[in-house]
Structure 1
Amino acid sequence: MAKWFSVGFWEAIARIILRNRIFILSLIALFTVFMAIQWKNMRFTYTEANLLPDHHEVNEEYKHFLDKFGEEGNLIIIGVQDTTFFSSKSFEAWTKMMETLKTDKAVEFVVSVESLQKLQKNQEDETFEMVPLFDPKKEKNDTYLAEIEKELFENLVFYENLLYNKKTGTIRSAIYIDKEIVNTQARKTFIDEVLIPEIKLFEEKTGIDLRVSGMPYIRTLNSQNIIDEIGLFVLAALLITSLIFFFFFRSYRATFISMCVVIIGVMWAFGTLGLLGFEITVLTAIIPPLIIVIGIPNCIFLINKYQQEIKNHGNQAKSLQRVISKVGNATLMTNLTTAAGFATFIITDSELLTEFGIVASLNIVLLFILCLLVIPIIYSFMPLPKEKHLKHLNKTYTKTFVNWIEKTVKEKSISIYISVVVLLVASIIGIYQIRISGSLIEDMPKKTDFFRDIVFFENEFDGVMPLEIMIDTKRKKGVMKLSTLRKMDELQETISEIPELSAPSSIVNLVKYSKQTYYNNNPEYYELPTAQEQGFIMTYAKNATKGGKENLMKSYVDSTGQYARITTFMKDIGTDKMVKIEEKLWDKINKVFPPDQYKVTLTGKALVFQKGTSYLVDNLILSLLFAIFLISLFMAYLFRSFKMILVSLLPNILPLLITAGMMGYLGVPIKPSTILVFSIAFGISVDDTIHFLAKYRQELKANNWKIRKSVFNALRETGVSMFYTSIVLFFGFSVFMISSFGGTVALGGLVSATLLFAMLSNLLLLPALLLSLEKTIANEQAFIEPKIDILAEDTIENELNDK
């Protein structure tokens, strides 16, 4: 009954498609136009990927920090390391550039040497005043600039490691972007149309090379790289798959039809992003080329079947009907398993991966429907393929490959098992060498100027990735108590001892500066006041920096005086190092700040990303197990045999283990981009298993349950199509290796390698297992009568054979 329904259902589908060709094509055209209209709703991400769920504790702490101090990723830094900087010509150009930037509405305020404010004691009013470093009455000639340079480097200790590096002479300026626009299109407009042109103008005037960094700048240029690569990926995927397709089929017509189908699929993918309102991120950007790579194998199966039928009997109507009725079911199941591999990301509770999983899995199913409709309909309007178009069906290189596979399975099954065991042991050893990386910048393009600038600032100022410590004193104005300041100073000393972190800054630095100012700017007094000094120095300090954009106090302490922040920057380090740094910081925090008096939070974008990576790695196993479970259900529904589920899973799990071992040996870390590999590759590689076992079951019944004969018949029948599709997928995913993003390169290379291993595993290990388990499988009646007949046999032919 189930078999009759399967055959009858797909024959009915074939009749509906072929009898309503114009209507169906019109619907597809209208739907494509509708999806193209949705492109206007596409938007590009303006923030880093938040890999944690919104309700996660780390996210909650970060939001609490933002509520108190606002967006902490709004700093752009411009650095210069040149001995001629303090010359009148260069400094004039620098001043002009900074004045232009300050007046832009996107800028909140600027801390820069030409407009630098310094504290000055006013004994009459018992306060500190902020006065310009430069005397406005004096001419900024070379002599005066030399004096300023000396004062800056020798006396203004407060600004050391903030605005200058005393050892190398590097100067930098801090530009704080308006927090309201830092995560919007306005930020990109400012950087593209104001900041970058001004920097280029300065460099042309002076010949001095400026360095630019900071999260808003990095994010803007990185996002632009993502946008630029979408078109590159799509074109490269179309080129490589069309060349391979033409090489196999030697038909311009078949190649053109296939390319049109996948291009429509790409249009639908972009439309889905717009329709659902999802942002284009480094992950969703790879979906359009992914659609091309996955869509071509569908075209290969359908066109190959059509040409085989034409070669057998030359009847076009009959051939098209069989393409739909005999291949449709198998192609549906393989597309569902592929979609299931992507759909597993939906359960990760990460918005980034959930959106990726939804769009990818949905469009894979839509692509199957598109292929099944368009290819038979288009061919129904065309003349029959010529003899030259069918020559590829008898290519000698494919026959040679299949013969080698058959001979190896037949004569060297022991060698296959030994090779599997050796690979398995080596892979397990490699897996133990895998490291986890949670770096914000590791996947960024290494050859870009902005990445080289990141490295520059890491060397000069120990990093650009913000790490924040928020201290809740649990009482108003508790921050300015001397006991609290001393505890913060003790923690800052620990931070300074960690090589991967930059010199910290907080209200402590400002109080130390106040004491230095009180003692006539003597650098030796840059320290916290004693208990005796506290009264009169803090009286001065409380009135310092009141009001105005240059109010440094508000950057370090909230308006109630209850919360303080300590800001440091971290280098590009891995998760393992960050865990050790966290442990060291928490050891100190727990000793210095009693929990009953203080609540201390460790947060910041860099840390949130690190925690997000760890969270995803923890969910990776769950996601992969879910993919295996989901696909096992497909296999159980199709073949009705527990033993066949095990036999089918082993050849597909082995390539995943080999790839994981390779990652360990090659030093490719587990990170958000590479954790996608396993579920994607598993969902795709199991397609070959379904095709092979479906044909094997069909052969088994036709040959009176003779296992050996059925295995080799299935191998000869499906080996060529498995080879074709695997080659397309291998080179298709290799397209991602042209990316400038390290994570995308790793994703492409690892998936390609996994699918190659999977092809060999399905062609060598799977048949060997079937032969080795010959007696037990032959008795599995449930396998012999599956729930769904995947490769539906032609009912007319069966009736003739019965007669």
Structure 2
Amino acid sequence: MTISDRIAALLLRHLRKLSALVLLIVLGLGAGIPALTFSADNTSFFGKQNQETRDLEDLGEFYTGSSGFLIMVKPPEGEMFSLNTLEALKEMTADVWQAPFALRVDSPANFNHSRSEGEDIIVEPLLDEYAEVTPEVAERFQEVVSTSPEMRNRLVAADLQAYGISLNTVLSDDFEARRDELLAFLDQMEADWAERYPGFEIRMTGDVLGGLTLALAAKQDILTLVPMAFVLVIALLLFFLRVPLAVGGAALVVLLSTIGTFGFTGFLGIELTAGTAISPMAVMVLTAASCIHLILSWFRELDRSDRATALHHAISENLAPVLVTTVTTAIGFLALNFAEAPPLQDMGNIVAFGLMIGMIANFTLLPLALRASRARGGDRLPLREGMMRVLADLAVRYRRGWITGFLALILVAGLGIGRIGYDDSLVRYFDDRFEFRQDSDEIQQHLTGLDNLQFSFTAPEGGSVFDPDFLRDIDRFTTWIETQDNVVGVSSLTQVIKRLNMSMNGDAPAFDRIADSREANAQLMMFYELSLPVGLDLNSTIDVDRQRTRVVVLMRAEHSEDVRGLAKVAEAWMARNTPDTQARAAGISYAFSTVSERNNSQMLVGLVLVLVLVSLIMMATLRNARMGVISLAPNVLPAIFAFGLWGISFGDVNLGSTVVTTMTFGIVVDDTVHFLMHYLDGRKRGRSTVDALQETFRVVGSAIIVTSICLAIGFLVMATSGFAINQHLGALTAIVIGFALLADLLFLPALLLSFDRTKAK
């Protein structure tokens, strides 16, 4: 009697007690579900130690304004500068100032414009809050906003068809309560505006709304995709297995593994994000695949043995393969800890734990259901042995063709992989079903770019931001970067100083430059700041110590490469042209634009580790080094083919795509393990290569096909998410599984026929 036989006998002897224990454990884990929380932090995808994250923290430390909103106000056509529109803009600006926790509000209405009047300099808002808008005021307003580089593509559209109102808030303490109070106010304000200003189009975006949409996407995926995947998987099991009680047992196993996974997440205090919310769905689909192997094995044996013997045989036959595949799959997910994005690390740990719960339930609760079933064998199954014999004949007869075809696919895939680029953007992560994406697209199209690069310049030691040479370097950089592709606006301290210097000298264009001394520049800024109302200081541009100043570059980027490319070009330009005045590119857009590349390089370490560990496990399990090496091909090639097809069809990948190769390597090993273990068992019994292959197709062929279909459809459900990371992860995984099925059924037999020492008859 083998070890598997002994364990199977032990399990069957204590099946009820063990099943009750598993139920208690899962129910205990389920107590953690009420502790689940959803993260609305749009920086949660960045590793805490990478340079981009540290630069973001520095920006928050040195400059005011953290949680921002941008409201687009688009008046009716032809009414942009009418008196009624300007009165409305003034009232809207005042309304936004009433928002809870408002720190700063910028609008064309309160834009402080400097001009000379005789020997005096006047610094005042374009629209006086307490004065009526007259035709003369409207004319001056139109003249300024039409020519101001500080407002263009930021607070007023380049085509003069829309205004922008920017709101900065402070939500650091008791963030969630403050955020909810603020959003309730803004929702009510927007509803009031719809009544008071008919014909005006109002759109809103911002980092708080982006973070909230992340949490919303996570909740939607849990409430819709997880149940949808469960129903589809059970429907597929009913179709392929045709035994309600067996399928009910599998459904219970899947349900309990999902509950255990959610509870485990809650107990660990892991916040669910849009990137981790689908973890229980992955557990569900993978656990269902393990159940299929056990049920089909039991089915086959019912045709030859009594029920007790069939159940014992099914457990004994699948114990080692299911254990190995569960461990290798868990290793693939645990390797996500090499990812730099914390949600991907969390997903790997969550799924690995859930798989273990599913495996334990698979060998306790499912056998209990099978023992109660009165099924009569596999003759009612849609995938019958005759079909498997035909498939085996095709694999054997055309083995050279399959090898040639797969080698050709490698070349084609290489071309597709060469076309792949990385595209990550908080806005583009969401599809059009989300209001945040709809509003952001409209604002980007009609008002300004929503991507930005930020450069924080530090004055030379012993100097200040008002040193003329330092400011001239920044002004040269500002002038240069304004001309670059995709740049729609630049906000810089030098713009304010040059305008003030010109106003100080009678608005003469010759003085549109930096003043010649530190003292003169400092006096200009002091005069300007003393003229500003409360809440409109320059701390968003200059730090309190006057040692740093920030240049913000607004971009209308269609791809992350636009952001990354400009950052590299800008840093190279500074190194050549302003070597004494340099700064690194930073900001949320830049952090997102680099996250996939950085994560992909980190995942290479994880992939190597997974390849080594899984290969060693395969060699130890199969007790055959040659077979362990052969098994690598059908497990590595599917990911290559999938990314090649993706590169040809779509081109771009995102953060979710970077973990697919590592994650799926453990998944696709499942069918390879079952195939090779049965094949080698046949070879040990003296069968020839061809006979062993035909027997393997008969025994496990249907299970491999059914599990692959269930896995692929389960992950395709994930691809219907409104969140792009889950879309890519689900779709690519489904494609990998599809190619893995072809590799196991066609390419692997061809390899065995070519490299096994026993030749075919």
Matched, 1:686 2:689: no
Aligned to 1:784: none
Q: Following TM superposition, by how much is the alpha carbon of 1:488 offset from its aligned partner in structure 2, in angstroms? A: 0.7
SS in 1 for 2:431: coil
Q: Following TM superposition, by how much is the alpha carbon of 1:40 offset from its aligned partner in structure 2, in angstroms? A: 3.0
Q: Describe the superposition over 1:13-43 as per-residue Cα deviations: whole angstroms up to 9, x where unpaired.
A: 4433x2xx1x444433433333333223322
Matched, 1:429 2:405: no
For 1:61, which of 32, 55, 63 is the aligned residue?
A: 55
SS in 1 for 2:553: strand
The aligned amino acid for 1:298 is S
Aligned to 1:47: 41
For 2:126, which of 133, 140, 149 is the aligned residue?
A: 133
Taking the aligned partners of 2:576 and 2:755, their CA distance within structure 1 comes to: 64
For 2:151, which of 142, 156, 159 is the aligned residue?
A: 159
SS in 2 for 1:635: helix
Q: Following TM superposition, by how much is the alpha carbon of 1:237 offset from its aligned partner in structure 2, in angstroms? A: 0.2
The aligned amino acid for 1:713 is E
Taking the aligned partners of 1:370 and 1:188, their CA distance within structure 2 comes to: 42
Alpha carbons 1:440, 1:572 under 8 Å: kept: no
Taking the aligned partners of 1:167 and 1:101, their CA distance within structure 2 comes to: 24
Matched, 1:109 2:104: yes
Q: Out of 550-559 and 657-666, give the one that drifted further.
A: 550-559
The aligned amino acid for 1:693 is L
Q: Following TM superposition, by how much is the alpha carbon of 1:49 offset from its aligned partner in structure 2, in angstroms? A: 4.5
- Call closer, same or farther: CA 1:674–1:76 in 2, change over 3 Å: same
The aligned amino acid for 1:133 is L
Q: Following TM superposition, by how much is the alpha carbon of 1:735 offset from its aligned partner in structure 2, in angstroms? A: 0.8
Q: Describe the superposition over 1:553-610 as per-residue Cα deviations: whole angstroms up to 9, x where unpaired.
A: 2111111111111112233344544443223212321234334xx4523211111222
Alpha carbons 2:75, 2:162 under 8 Å: kept: yes
SS in 2 for 1:285: coil
Q: Out of 63-72 and 209-218, give the one that drifted further.
A: 63-72
Aligned to 2:526: 542
Taking the aligned partners of 1:136 and 1:336, their CA distance within structure 2 comes to: 68
For 1:332, which of 323, 329, 350 is the aligned residue?
A: 323
Percent pairwise identity: 20
- Call closer, same or farther: CA 1:523–1:114 in 2, change over 3 Å: farther
Q: Out of 423-432 and 739-748, give the one that drifted further.
A: 739-748
Aligned to 2:232: 240
Aligned to 2:272: 280
Q: Out of 248-257 and 274-283, give the one that drifted further.
A: 248-257
For 2:246, which of 242, 247, 254 is the aligned residue?
A: 254
For 2:437, which of 428, 451, 461 is the aligned residue?
A: 451
Q: Describe the superposition over 1:442-465 as per-residue Cα deviations: whole angstroms up to 9, x where unpaired.
A: 322145443233333334455212
Q: Following TM superposition, by how much is the alpha carbon of 1:648 offset from its aligned partner in structure 2, in angstroms? A: 1.0
The aligned amino acid for 1:272 is F
Q: How does 1:643-722 map to 2 (within 5 A)?
A: 643-702=626-685, 704-722=686-704
SS in 1 for 2:49: coil
Q: Following TM superposition, by how much is the alpha carbon of 1:634 offset from its aligned partner in structure 2, in angstroms? A: 1.1
SS in 1 for 2:719: helix
Matched, 1:512 2:498: yes
- Call closer, same or farther: CA 1:320–1:397 in 2, change over 3 Å: closer
The aligned amino acid for 2:528 is A
Q: Following TM superposition, by how much is the alpha carbon of 1:397 offset from its aligned partner in structure 2, in angstroms? A: 4.6
Q: Out of 201-210 and 318-327, give the one that drifted further.
A: 318-327
Q: Describe the superposition over 1:507-540 as per-residue Cα deviations: whole angstroms up to 9, x where unpaired.
A: 11221232344356x49578324438x8667524
Taking the aligned partners of 2:177 and 2:533, their CA distance within structure 1 comes to: 24
Alpha carbons 2:502, 2:508 under 8 Å: kept: yes
Taking the aligned partners of 2:51 and 2:521, their CA distance within structure 1 comes to: 40
**When the two structures are superposed, what TM-score results if normalisation uses the length of structure 1?**
0.87
Q: Following TM superposition, by how much is the alpha carbon of 1:730 offset from its aligned partner in structure 2, in angstroms? A: 1.6
Taking the aligned partners of 1:537 and 1:577, their CA distance within structure 2 comes to: 35
Taking the aligned partners of 1:398 and 1:427, their CA distance within structure 2 comes to: 34
Alpha carbons 1:505, 1:568 under 8 Å: kept: yes
Aligned to 1:147: 139
For 2:283, which of 291, 295, 307 is the aligned residue?
A: 291
Matched, 1:305 2:331: no
Alpha carbons 2:8, 2:312 under 8 Å: kept: no
Aligned to 1:480: 466
SS in 2 for 1:558: coil
Alpha carbons 1:191, 1:217 under 8 Å: kept: no
Q: Following TM superposition, by how much is the alpha carbon of 1:545 offset from its aligned partner in structure 2, in angstroms? A: 1.8
Alpha carbons 2:210, 2:427 under 8 Å: kept: no
Alpha carbons 2:492, 2:541 under 8 Å: kept: yes
For 1:420, which of 390, 406, 411 is the aligned residue?
A: 406
Which runs of 5 or more residues in structure 2 are unaligned?
A: none
Taking the aligned partners of 1:241 and 1:766, their CA distance within structure 2 comes to: 27
Matched, 1:211 2:203: yes
Q: Out of 456-465 and 326-335, give the one that drifted further.
A: 456-465
Taking the aligned partners of 2:45 and 2:434, their CA distance within structure 1 comes to: 25
- Call closer, same or farther: CA 1:756–1:536 in 2, change over 3 Å: closer
Taking the aligned partners of 2:37 and 2:510, their CA distance within structure 1 comes to: 53
For 1:774, which of 751, 756, 761 is the aligned residue?
A: 756
Q: Following TM superposition, by how much is the alpha carbon of 1:71 offset from its aligned partner in structure 2, in angstroms? A: 5.8
Q: Following TM superposition, by how much is the alpha carbon of 1:408 offset from its aligned partner in structure 2, in angstroms? A: 1.0
The aligned amino acid for 1:265 is S
CA RMSD of aligned residues (A): 3.0
Alpha carbons 2:498, 2:512 under 8 Å: kept: yes
Alpha carbons 1:241, 1:728 under 8 Å: kept: yes
Taking the aligned partners of 2:509 and 2:751, their CA distance within structure 1 comes to: 79
Taking the aligned partners of 2:481 and 2:150, their CA distance within structure 1 comes to: 17
SS in 1 for 2:455: strand
Matched, 1:372 2:363: yes
For 2:576, which of 576, 591, 606 is the aligned residue?
A: 591
Alpha carbons 2:420, 2:653 under 8 Å: kept: yes
Which runs of 5 or more residues in structure 1 are unaligned?
A: 779-803
Q: Following TM superposition, by how much is the alpha carbon of 1:758 offset from its aligned partner in structure 2, in angstroms? A: 0.8
SS in 1 for 2:757: helix
SS in 2 for 1:180: coil
Q: Out of 89-98 and 579-588, give the one that drifted further.
A: 89-98
The aligned amino acid for 2:498 is K
Alpha carbons 1:467, 1:607 under 8 Å: kept: yes
The aligned amino acid for 2:410 is L
Q: How does 1:159-198 map to 2 (within 5 A)?
A: 159-180=151-172, 184-186=175-177, 188-190=179-181, 192-198=183-189
Taking the aligned partners of 1:120 and 1:131, their CA distance within structure 2 comes to: 9
Q: Out of 558-567 and 475-484, give the one that drifted further.
A: 475-484
SS in 2 for 1:572: coil
Aligned to 1:740: 722
**When the two structures are superposed, what TM-score results if normalisation uses the length of structure 2?**
0.92
- Call closer, same or farther: CA 1:576–1:99 in 2, change over 3 Å: closer
SS in 1 for 2:652: coil
Q: How does 1:372-411 map to 2 (within 5 A)?
A: 372-380=363-371, 382=372, 384-387=373-376, 390=377, 392-395=378-381, 397-411=383-397
Q: Following TM superposition, by how much is the alpha carbon of 1:301 offset from its aligned partner in structure 2, in angstroms? A: 1.9
SS in 1 for 2:452: strand
SS in 2 for 1:556: coil
Matched, 1:358 2:354: no
The aligned amino acid for 2:190 is I
Matched, 1:15 2:13: yes
- Call closer, same or farther: CA 1:9–1:535 in 2, change over 3 Å: closer
SS in 2 for 1:164: coil
SS in 1 for 2:41: coil
- Call closer, same or farther: CA 1:514–1:711 in 2, change over 3 Å: same
Q: Following TM superposition, by how much is the alpha carbon of 1:95 offset from its aligned partner in structure 2, in angstroms? A: 4.8
Aligned to 1:580: 565
The aligned amino acid for 2:732 is L
Q: Following TM superposition, by how much is the alpha carbon of 1:134 offset from its aligned partner in structure 2, in angstroms? A: 2.8
